[in-house]
Homo-oligomer: A and B are copies of this chain.
Amino acid sequence: MNFTLNILGTASALPVLNRFPSAQVLDVRGRLFLIDCGEGAQMQIRKMRLSYLRIDNICLSHLHGDHIFGLFGLLSTMAMLGRTSHLNIFAPKGFAPILKFYLSNFADGLRFSIEHHPLSMREPETVWSSRSLEMLAFPLNHRIDSYGFLIREKMPMPNVDKAAIARYDLTVAEIAALKRGEDVVRQAGDEVIPNAEVAYRPYVPRSYAYCSDTAPFPELPEWVKGVSLLYHEATFPEELASMAEKTFHSTARQAAECAAAAGVGRLVIGHYSSRYADTAIFLQEASEVFPKTELARECMTVEVPLVKLTV
């Protein structure tokens, strides 16, 4: 039941020693979401011992090279490893010719289908869901068409307390009714078992939001409200706030302000400008606003623990 963010790269556009450009893998119970795919992502996936073949969904926030130039290599590796299962790529509309180019030039031996789900929403929209998970995408405020992603566990079905089942000698039909959220009225009609007394949510659903390259904008904290874990880019410290504004990026302080306004559980920041070999200033500035901040580092994992509930 793990919910783990794996950081593959923390750099912004220019190469820096021992940093890779933007890429992350969210591992939810063994299902891997690759979020952005900067150059070298496949090497980092290998290094972190993640499985190429368990990535079924790739999310590309925008089409700047430092977020996508690792994709061709990764797709070719998947093909060489004999992948046959379908692959979803959630990406801006402009990705269509890029995928077409790849398929026309480099897809010899590719035996799996790739579906581009074009993003063009103005506010959060569900773009993918399974029985227990869902993913939303939402627009960001960058120089080009850009999107963030929110991946969350759905509200789990209620459990019925085992002791209560024994105590009341509940029938299968009664248990099903309780799981639907109903109270149980015994056949005689003289006894009601309140749902809240015996049914309970087994755990608190976990959520992760990824805010790639973006300038701050008013709706963002609302859109990522209350997520367990927020990644927000923090390209510059405050001393380069004017540069952040000019390039449609955020400062570490602004990332923390978003986290605070959204009331998230924890914040991870990254996408550091190549000007800063030492990233301590980013942590310092963000922590002043939002103490539960961590600096993204290559090959770091951030686990969101499952909080189990009882009746």
Which residues of chain B come closer than 8 Å to A77, judged between CB atoms?
13-15
Which residues of chain B come closer than 8 Å to A16, judged between CB atoms?
46
Which residues of chain B come closer than 8 Å to A20, judged between CB atoms?
43
Per the 8 Å Cβ criterion, residues 72-90 of A in contact with B are: 72-73, 76-77, 80-81
Chain A interface residue count, CB cutoff 8 Å, equals: 30
Do B80 and A13 touch (CB < 8 A)?
A: yes
Per the 8 Å Cβ criterion, residues 20-54 of A in contact with B are: 20-21, 39-40, 42-43, 45-47
Do B80 and A14 touch (CB < 8 A)?
A: yes
Do A65 and B76 touch (CB < 8 A)?
A: yes
Q: How far is the CA of A39 from the CA of B38 in the complex (A)?
A: 10
Given contacts A39-B42, A43-B20, A97-B105, contact A73 B80 (CB under 8 A): no
Given contacts A17-B46, A39-B43, A46-B17, contact A69 B73 (CB under 8 A): yes
Q: How far is the CA of A237 from the CA of B85 in the complex (A)?
A: 33
Q: How close is A92's CB to chain B, nearest CB, in angstroms?
A: 12
Task: Decide if A128 is an interface residue (CB 8 Å cutoff).
Answer: no
Which residues of chain B come closer than 8 Å to A98, judged between CB atoms?
105
Do B80 and A72 touch (CB < 8 A)?
A: no
Task: Decide if A106 is an interface residue (CB 8 Å cutoff).
Answer: yes
Give the 10 A-B residue pairs with the shortest CB-CB distance, closest first.
Answer: A39-B73, A15-B46, A65-B76, A69-B73, A40-B40, A101-B101, A15-B42, A15-B43, A69-B72, A65-B106
Q: Can you give 10 A-B contacts (C-beta < 8 A)? A: A13-B80, A14-B80, A15-B42, A39-B40, A39-B69, A39-B70, A66-B73, A66-B76, A69-B72, A69-B76
